[in-house]
Structure 1
Amino acid sequence: MTDHTELAGRRVLVTGATHGIGRSIARAFAAAGATVVLHGRDADAGNRLALELSGSFVAADLEDPGAPARIVDAATEGGQLDVVVNNAGFEVEAAVDALVPEILTRLLRVNVQAPVEIIRLALPHLERSDGAAIVNVTSIHESVPVEANGGYAAAKAALAAFTRTAAIELGPRGVRINNLAPGAVRTSMNDHLIHQVGEERFARWIPLGRVGDVDDVAQAALFLAGPASRYVTGTTLTVDGGYSQHLVRYAPDPGTA
């Protein structure tokens, strides 16, 4: 259960916070006492959530090269920033012969380049914190392949590799950095797949017997950002109910097992 004072006095930036996993993460951090700065593209949803959480919101599209600087400027207003959660990202289904440069460039820009730039710009502020942490939300597909997912998987694998390297550099500077890799979780990005396969059938492939919820991921993010993980850096926490240990190929015919 969330300790409502666990992150009291901390200032947290959550990207991609207006929907799905990001929104749940923002709510969990606010419930733990943090001041939350939200980022997203949906200004209406972002401003409503900021009002709900007594936080603030900055609208920006991460395909815009200037977006990371605007986001970090908003997050560090007043000079303090303790935690960065790079949650924003997007997925495109494209087989190898359809992975044209335009698609790959967008995937790498949003899923790798933007979070790395946010980290770089936030570092001077994080280094002044006595509990600085960075959580990069990747995916089980950073290591588990699925057809027509090569571009997204490559981007998430790149961010995961960056995290491991950055941990070596940032540890001596007092900043922890880890990956959080969700599996099958109910979000708008995954709904089509879960509906196509069937949730009951999907659940049979997961050792814990159910499709994940966004709150499952949010609690894991809270752990990685908080004092309970003070000796954890440079690793990936997989939140998938054991799915990646028992992953099967999606059958094209729902009638086949």
Structure 2
Amino acid sequence: MSVPVALSVAGSDSGGGAGIQADLKTFEAHGVYGASVLTVITAQNTRGVQAVHTLSPALVAAQLRSVLDDFPVAAVKTGALGSPGVIRAVAQALRGTRLPLIVDPVMLAKSGDALLEPEALDVLIHDLLPLATLVTPNVPEWAALRAAGAPEHLPLLLKGGHAPGDTVTDELRAGSHQFTLAAPRQKTRHTHGTGCTLSAAITANLARGRALPDAVRAAHGYLQAALRHAPGLGAGHGPLGHRAAAAAGQTAER
């Protein structure tokens, strides 16, 4: 039996809590083989981002060709893309593949450090978002996208973690699939990589053949378990418990 393959096109977090590292941990927890294309390299820990280097569009395009030419990729997600040129390279490589694509429009790290150049937002909206099966912004990211001219009726999972209150509500708006997912707000500082982990879990479930609504529901449950089982590392926004969440049974059946 072949193993499902998912591809993450995202930045590297040297602290291991977000970006490519969180995506690969999440894929593995779901029984999915993870391939990766690096776009941005950060010097980063739970306290913040100390340095950022965006890779060249040519190198990103070469990585994409290398993976897509050899692996039976079943679903793709994007995270931090950095520059307009990188976004164009990613869109060009994925256009015509018809692969399920989850776009996590990462603009800021948890610490507030910028991971997307301001002039890249327009390219993201016009080149990449039209290819998306689902876009997964948080409330500030969605406000920035709308202000920059993004269509209102994108297939959307609007994440509610930034909204006030004791309940966190995510809202799926994707064609005929319209529902909300609510969970008690977990009182923890260990929230680094929540958006990456959620979008990666959706991608993994799509790679396993689940329909979009089921993939979103399963990913939501996995994220709640990963928050509950955080390992307690770092002095700032700590990483999630990706492996512990899998052990708790919050992934797809294998």
Shorter-chain TM-score category? 0.3 to 0.5
Q: Normalization by structure 1: what TM-score?
A: 0.41
- Higher RCO, 1 vs 2 (CA within 8 Å, ≥6 residues apart): 2
- Higher helix proportion, which one? 1
Larger Rg: 1
Q: Normalization by structure 2: what TM-score?
A: 0.41
- Higher strand proportion, which one? 2
